């Protein structure tokens, strides 16, 4: 890479999962609007056709006159080809198909276990991890062989397990995980400033926060806006909307949107623990024993969020496939609107253009002082030329530490289970998830059927 006149124009990015219909478009759009960066995007996907479509869509963006970030999109045939010479590697894949996801989400319902997402923890998150880990072993080995100096950005869930697997296989890897759930909570705080103080249009970047925890189970321990401590305000906010829930938009009801919530779980957690949980309620709920928020569909309804179904996801994919077709044919043009994601700003910091502090998922080196070293945690970090330095974020209070620690330990067990493929051990870790409130015999039966359902990705 050459840094010249405040620009870096020969960046090589390998995009694993480059056939994505969704997040890839967002990323391409953001790139096309930034004039300081340019180079090549190598698209790699086991669905080659999908990658080819994105090659067309990406190069069309470059060809447009109204874009300033010019990138050359190229489909690659092999991981080796994609990685060799890459400065950055982006990983954003779907491990398995909707068939396996159906088992992740719905098989446990036969035993009375309900999950709102099923991709992070719980029986679904665990099985998804079992499928994903072998894929990440392969990717990590390829990066070690072909791009050991590259920066690797992960977007796949289960986030912590994916990032950790990369480090287990190749400890010198320069990998980190990005997730936008925290940004959503910053936006909620901006809404709060309007609701309680009448301050309008606060950009989320101006809400200064310190976060700590595990991805999707992250906690804001400090929040400021222009020198103002936001915690007393949030207390007022949580109490005001504890019973009714809070909706960002008047016309926007959580019941109409599988991905929305009314923040009641977040408010309940604040009243219990005094910290602001920094993820959507659907993610947060899955980190607790069932009696909290996921006992049964009625309980879920009471807490005002939805159980995403796999049928919904399939329907959603159909819409995205149709849009892909329109984009490839030129029938539809991508709108040049910033996504609010920070991925590109992080890349700019890493090439030396502008230092940035943002939240990130990397192994714990002490940035959270009372979670195990090595566990992938989410905190702020300072991004600068060829460096990510997590900022020391202190200790979680005992009560929250107790909750997060359980999952930190399970994260370690999950990764070991996926790496060793030791079925007995895997069962013990599976059974240890707080959502699996089953007798040892029922737990065994559920485990066996879920393993059978996803067997072809496991090779156990």
Active-site annotation, residues: 180
First to last CA, the chain: 43
Q: Given candidates 184, 289, 340, 374, which one binds a second copy under the rule CB under 8 A?
A: 289
Query: Would you put residue 374 in left (φ > 0), alpha (ψ -120 to 50) or beta?
Result: left
Shortest Å, Cβ 166 to a second copy: 18
Q: Given candidates 9, 222, 313, 421, which one binds a second copy under the rule CB under 8 A?
A: 222
**Pairing state of beta strands 37-44 and 7-16?**
parallel
Stretch that binds a second copy, among 81-89, 91-99, 124-132, 396-404 (CB under 8 A): 396-404
Residue the block writes with tokens 């408010």: 267
Q: How many CB atoms lie within 10 A of CB 77?
A: 10
Classify each residue of 153-185 as buried b or exposed e, where b means 16 or more C-beta atoms within 10 Å of its C-beta. Answer: bbbbbbbbbbbbbbbbbbeebbbbbbbebbbbb
26 to 65: interface string for a second copy, x by CB under 8 A: ----------------------------------------
| Residue 228 interacting with a second copy (CB under 8 A) | yes
| Residue 386 interacting with a second copy (CB under 8 A) | yes
Q: Given candidates 87, 281, 342, 412, which one binds a second copy under the rule CB under 8 A?
A: 412
Q: Given candidates 301, 365, 445, 456, which one binds a second copy under the rule CB under 8 A?
A: 365
| Residue 359 interacting with a second copy (CB under 8 A) | no
| Residue 208 interacting with a second copy (CB under 8 A) | yes
| Residue 419 interacting with a second copy (CB under 8 A) | no
Separation in Å, CA 189 to CA 228, 236, 356, 416: 12, 12, 21, 38
| Residue 432 interacting with a second copy (CB under 8 A) | yes
Say how far apart CA 172 and CA 364 lie, in whole Å: 14
Asked if 453 and 103 count as a contact pair (C-beta separation under 8 A), the reply is yes
Separation in Å, CA 103 to CA 10, 36, 106, 115, 371: 44, 45, 5, 12, 31
Asked if 1 and 11 count as a contact pair (C-beta separation under 8 A), the reply is yes
Q: Given candidates 62, 81, 339, 369, which one binds a second copy under the rule CB under 8 A?
A: 369
Smaller CB distance to a second copy: residue 56 or 437?
Answer: 437
Say how far apart CA 115 and CA 108 lie, in whole Å: 8
Shortest Å, Cβ 249 to a second copy: 28
| Residue 273 interacting with a second copy (CB under 8 A) | yes
| Residue 409 interacting with a second copy (CB under 8 A) | yes
Q: How many CB atoms lie within 10 A of CB 431?
A: 19
**Pairing state of beta strands 228-229 and 151-154?**
unpaired
Q: Given candidates 302, 399, 445, 448, which one binds a second copy under the rule CB under 8 A?
A: 399
| Residue 272 interacting with a second copy (CB under 8 A) | yes
Shortest Å, Cβ 99 to a second copy: 29
By CB under 8 A, name the binding residues for a second copy. Answer: 1, 3, 6, 8, 208, 210, 222, 224, 226-229, 268, 271-274, 289, 291, 351-353, 355, 357, 365-367, 369-370, 372, 380-382, 384-387, 389-394, 397-399, 401-403, 405-406, 409-410, 412-413, 416, 428-429, 431-432, 437, 440
């Amino acid at each position: 890479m050459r840094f010249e006149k405040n620009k870096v124009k020969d960046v090589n990015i390998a995009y694993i999962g480059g056939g994505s219909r969704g997040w890839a478009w967002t990323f391409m759009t953001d790139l096309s609007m930034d004039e300081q960066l340019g180079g090549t995007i190598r698209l790699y996907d086991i669905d080659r056709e999908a990658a080819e479509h994105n090659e067309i869509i990406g190069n069309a963006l470059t060809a447009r006159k109204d874009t300033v970030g010019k990138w050359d999109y190229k489909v690659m045939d092999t991981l080796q080809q994609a990685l060799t010479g890459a400065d950055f590697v982006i990983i954003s894949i779907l491990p398995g198909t909707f068939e396996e996801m159906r088992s992740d989400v719905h098989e446990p319902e036969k035993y009375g276990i309900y999950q709102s997402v099923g991709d992070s923890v719980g029986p679904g998150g665990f099985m998804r991890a079992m499928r994903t880990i072998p894929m990440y072993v392969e990717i990590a080995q390829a990066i070690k062989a072909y791009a050991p100096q590259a920066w690797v950005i992960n977007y796949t869930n289960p986030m912590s397990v994916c990032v950790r697997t990369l480090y287990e296989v190749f400890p010198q890897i320069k990998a980190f995980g990005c997730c936008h759930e925290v940004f959503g909570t910053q936006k909620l705080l901006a809404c709060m400033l309007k609701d309680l103080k009448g301050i309008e249009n606060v950009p989320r970047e101006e809400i200064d926060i310190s976060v700590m925890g595990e991805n999707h189970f992250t906690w804001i321990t400090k929040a400021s806006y222009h020198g103002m401590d936001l915690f007393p305000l949030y207390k007022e906010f949580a109490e005001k909307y504890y019973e009714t829930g809070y909706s960002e938009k008047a016309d926007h009801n959580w019941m109409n949107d599988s991905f929305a919530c009314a923040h009641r779980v977040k408010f309940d957690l604040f009243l219990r623990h005094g910290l602001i949980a920094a993820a959507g309620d659907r993610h947060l709920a899955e980190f607790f024993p069932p009696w909290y928020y996921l006992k049964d569909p009625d309980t879920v309804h009471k807490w005002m969020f939805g159980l995403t179904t796999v049928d919904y996801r399939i329907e959603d994919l159909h819409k995205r496939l149709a849009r892909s077709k329109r984009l490839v044919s030129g029938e539809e043009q991508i709108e040049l609107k910033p996504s609010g994601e920070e991925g590109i700003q992080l890349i700019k910091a890493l090439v030396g253009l502008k230092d940035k502090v943002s939240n990130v998922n990397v192994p714990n080196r002490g940035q959270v002082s009372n979670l195990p070293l090595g566990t992938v945690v989410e905190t702020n970090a300072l991004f600068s030329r060829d460096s990510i330095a997590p900022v020391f974020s202190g200790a979680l209070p005992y009560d929250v530490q107790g909750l997060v620690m359980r999952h930190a330990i399970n994260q370690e067990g999950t990764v070991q289970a996926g790496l060793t493929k030791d079925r007995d051990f895997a069962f013990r870790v599976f059974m240890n998830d707080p959502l699996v409130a089953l007798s040892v015999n029922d737990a065994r039966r559920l485990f066996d059927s879920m393993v059978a359902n996803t067997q072809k990705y496991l090779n156990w």
